[in-house]
């Protein structure tokens, strides 16, 4: 079976994570992706240890996480020769992804306005921290800073500790995914219009977009949500509970699940207590409710409590380490760990009934395809 995007050609002038993540996603879906690197290469080739070593190439595991399946060519845009080389690559390209600072490619004649007449069908995706308009366009957009500005850190962490960032560069990852969606929407629209367009993607915009229900809580009430640790602002019990040997996530989503939880914990009276009859009641009485629930969960081992929850149809799950996660039978069954030419990797999550992913090579060596 063919991959869905076979026949599309992507030129990637992107470094670090958001742009490369979009490029890797398109590559996994079958597009030909040519990564254009400076003579020194993508910065993340040096972001180790750990490193992946292949022959004379030594690139960080971080680089391999976002560059699978691509070709690599070296282009020095500061030279006329390099500029001509890039123009040659664009002759039959469908998509260009770049994450230079706003206006950074104009001095080389590689910005959208300079290319749109020469390549009218080109879909040109610019990824920056703050976008092409607004008072922050000149600022460098690092994920950590974006997490702070966007409000994400204000709702992440324990209430009596420092605000916390997500354990991954989540705004970079989401921007890469949103960029992929925008690019494919533009490809579809091009079938009707016959022309490409400029896509302006900003990490801050994407970070604001994913604040979701928390932002809606604020917009509805005018009250800014605060950090609740592992608790859910709108739903309870939906958090982490202590057991005799660790912790377990219990995530009830309706009254029936709560009642079954109480019964399996031996708290039959709570199942029918009017103080906890509805979710709104439980939110209002969260501290007292959780104190009783946790006193009961501490009498179970994590494994025994998980099994009891499964037996009573109460949603629950463990808190896995990375080792636990990759050994999880469901993760194994879904084929989420892959290996290409001896280089390990994490699979893309797409599963098609009439197509397959294009896993044909690991991340490239610098200039491997010159």
For residue 200, is it within any domain?
Answer: yes
Output the CA angle 257-155-323, nearest 5 degrees.
70
Q: What is the per-residue pLDDT across 121-148, written as a single tens digit (0 to 9) for each?
A: 999 999 999 999 999 999 988 999 999 9
Residue 102 and residue 59 share a domain: yes
- Do 278 and 300 have their domain in common? yes
Spatial separation of the C-alpha atoms in residues 322 and 192, rounded to whole Å: 45
Q: Is the pLDDT of residue 363 over 90?
A: yes
* Domain identity same for 60 and 177: yes
Residue 346: predicted pLDDT: 95
Quick one: 339 and 307 in the same domain?
no
Question: The domain that contains 132 carries what CATH number?
Answer: 3.40.50.10540
> Is residue 151 in a domain?
yes
Q: Are residues 58 and 142 in the same domain?
A: yes
Residue 1 in this model has a pLDDT that exceeds 90: no
Rounded to the nearest integer, the mean pLDDT of the chain is: 95
Work out the average pLDDT over 235-249: 96
pTM here is 0.92
- Is 218 domain-assigned? no
List the CATH number of the domain containing 262.
3.30.1540.10
The total of structural domains in the chain comes to 2
What average pLDDT does the segment 214-239 reach? 93
Asked if residue 208 lies in contact with residue 151, where contact means CB atoms within 8 angstroms, the answer is yes
> Domain check: are 247 and 192 in the same one?
no
Q: Which residues sit opposite 34 in a β-bridge? A: 11, 71
**pLDDT grade, residue 91 (50/70/90)?**
very high
Choosing from 117, 172, 304, 369, the catalytic residue is 172
The pLDDT > 90 percentage for the chain reads 96
DSSP string covering 322-349, please?
HHHHHH-HHHHHTT-EEEETTEEEE---
49 class by beta-carbon count within 10 Å (0-12 exposed, 13-18 middle, 19+ buried):
exposed
177-183: list long-range contacts, CB under 8 Å, 24+ apart. Answer: 177/21, 177/22, 177/25, 178/206, 178/209, 179/18, 179/19, 179/22, 179/97, 179/125, 179/127, 180/22, 180/25, 180/26, 182/125, 183/22, 183/26, 183/95, 183/97, 183/123, 183/125
pLDDT tens sequence across 155-194? 999 999 999 999 999 999 999 999 999 999 999 999 999 9
Q: Does residue 36 form part of some domain?
A: yes
Say if residue 242 is in the same domain as residue 316: yes
Taking residues 38-58, report their average pLDDT. Answer: 93
Range of the domain at 144: 9-211+334-346
Across 68-217, the runs of DSSP E, i.e. the strands, are 71-74, 95-98, 123-128, 198-202
pLDDT tens-digit map of 303-339: 999 999 999 999 999 999 999 999 999 999 999 999 9
**188, 243: one domain:** no
Instruction: Tell me if 328 is assigned to some domain.
Output: no
172 labelled catalytic: yes
Show the CA angle centred on residue 60, arms to residues 54 and 65, nearest 5°: 100
- Residue 17 and residue 155 in one domain: yes
The answer on 91 and 66 residing in a single domain is yes
- Residues 246-264 have a mean pLDDT of 96
Whether residues 68 and 117 fall in one domain: yes
Are 311 and 259 within one domain? yes
Confidence (pLDDT) at 56: 85
């Amino acid at each position: 079976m063919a991959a869905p995007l076979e026949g599309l050609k992507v030129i990637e002038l992107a470094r670090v994570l958001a742009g490369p993540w979009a490029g890797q996603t398109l590559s996994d879906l079958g597009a030909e992706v040519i990564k254009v690197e400076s003579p020194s290469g993508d910065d993340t080739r040096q972001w180790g240890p750990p490193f992946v070593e292949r022959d004379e190439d030594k690139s960080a595991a971080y680089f391999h996480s976002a560059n699978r399946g691509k070709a690599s060519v070296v282009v020095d845009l500061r030279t006329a020769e390099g500029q001509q080389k890039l123009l040659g690559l664009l002759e039959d390209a469908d998509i260009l992804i770049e994450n230079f600072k706003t206006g950074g490619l104009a001095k080389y004649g590689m910005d959208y306005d300079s290319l749109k007449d020469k390549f009218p069908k080109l879909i040109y995706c610019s990824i920056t921290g703050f976008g092409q308009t607004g008072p922050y366009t000149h600022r460098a957009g690092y994920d950590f800073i974006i997490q702070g500005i966007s409000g994400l850190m204000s709702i992440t962490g324990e209430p009596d500790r420092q605000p916390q960032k997500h354990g991954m560069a989540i705004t970079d990852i989401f921007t890469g995914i949103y960029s992929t969606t925008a690019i494919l929407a533009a490809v579809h629209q091009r079938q009707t219009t016959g022309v490409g367009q400029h896509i302006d993607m900003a990490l801050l915009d994407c970070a604001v977009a994913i604040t979701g229900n928390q932002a809606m809580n604020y917009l509805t009430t005018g009250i800014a949500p605060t950090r609740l640790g592992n608790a859910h602002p709108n739903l309870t019990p939906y958090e982490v509970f202590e057991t005799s040997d660790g912790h377990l996530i219990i995530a009830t989503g309706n009254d029936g699940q709560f009642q079954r939880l109480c019964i399996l914990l031996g708290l039959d009276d709570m199942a029918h207590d009017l103080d906890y009859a509805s979710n709104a009641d439980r939110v209002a009485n969260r501290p007292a409710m959780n104190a009783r629930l946790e006193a009961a969960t501490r009498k179970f081992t994590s494994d025994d409590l998980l099994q009891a929850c499964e037996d009573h149809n109460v949603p629950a799950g463990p808190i896995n380490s990375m080792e636990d996660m990759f050994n999880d039978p469901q993760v194994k069954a879904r084929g989420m760990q892959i290996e290409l030419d001896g280089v390990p990797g994490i699979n893309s999550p797409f599963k098609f009934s009439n197509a397959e992913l294009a896993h044909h090579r690991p991340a490239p060596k610098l200039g491997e395809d010159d």
